[in-house]
Amino acid sequence: MWASQTTKTTLLENILGYFIAAEPSPILLVQPSVEMAQAWSKERFNATCRDTPALRELVTEQKSRTSENTIQLKTFPGGNLAIIGSNAPAGLAGRPRRVVLLDEVDRYPASAGSEGDPVALAIRRTESFWNSVVYLTSTPTNKGTSRIENEYEQTDRRMWFVKCHKCQHEQTLKWSNVLWEKDKPEKAYYQCDECEARWSDEDRVQAIRGGKWIATEAFNGKRGYFLNGIYSPFKSKRGFVSRLHQMAQEFLESKKAAKSS
Ligand SMILES: [Zn+2]
Does the pTM surpass 0.95? The reply is no
Q: Which amino acid is at 143?
A: K
- What pLDDT, on a 0 to 100 scale, did the predictor assign at position 207? 97
Separation of alpha carbons 163 and 209, rounded Å: 10
Q: How confident is the model at residue 48 (pLDDT cuts 50, 70, 90)?
A: very high
Q: How confident is the model at residue 179 (pLDDT cuts 50, 70, 90)?
A: very high
Asked whether the predicted pLDDT for residue 63 surpasses 80, the reply is: no
Asked whether the predicted pLDDT for residue 66 surpasses 70, the reply is: no
Higher per-residue confidence, 218 vs 257: 218
Q: How many A from CA of 172 to the centre of ligand 1?
A: 12
The domain limits of the chain are 8-152, 164-213+236-260
- Ion ligand 1, residues whose Cβ is below 5 A away: 164, 166-167, 169, 192, 194-195, 197
User: Tell me: the pLDDT tens digits for 81-107?
Assistant: 999 999 988 888 888 999 999 999 999
Separation of alpha carbons 179 and 170, rounded Å: 19
Cα four-point dihedral sign 195, 198, 203, 207: positive
- What pLDDT, on a 0 to 100 scale, did the predictor assign at position 16? 95
Q: How confident is the model at residue 62 (pLDDT cuts 50, 70, 90)?
A: low
User: Tell me: the pLDDT tens digits for 200-209?
Assistant: 999 999 999 9
Buried b (16+ CB within 10 A) or exposed e, 19-32: bbbeebbbbbbbbb
Q: How many A from CA of 170 to the centre of ligand 1?
A: 8
User: Tell me: the pLDDT tens digits for 212-251?
Assistant: 999 999 999 999 999 999 998 888 999 999 999 999 999 9
Q: How many A from CA of 238 to the centre of ligand 1?
A: 30
Asked whether the predicted pLDDT for residue 171 surpasses 90, the reply is: yes
8-152, CATH topology level:
Rossmann fold (3.40.50)
- What pLDDT, on a 0 to 100 scale, did the predictor assign at position 4? 82
- What pLDDT, on a 0 to 100 scale, did the predictor assign at position 61? 66
Q: How many A from CA of 128 to the centre of ligand 1?
A: 50
Separation of alpha carbons 208 and 160, rounded Å: 8
Q: How many A from CA of 244 to the centre of ligand 1?
A: 18
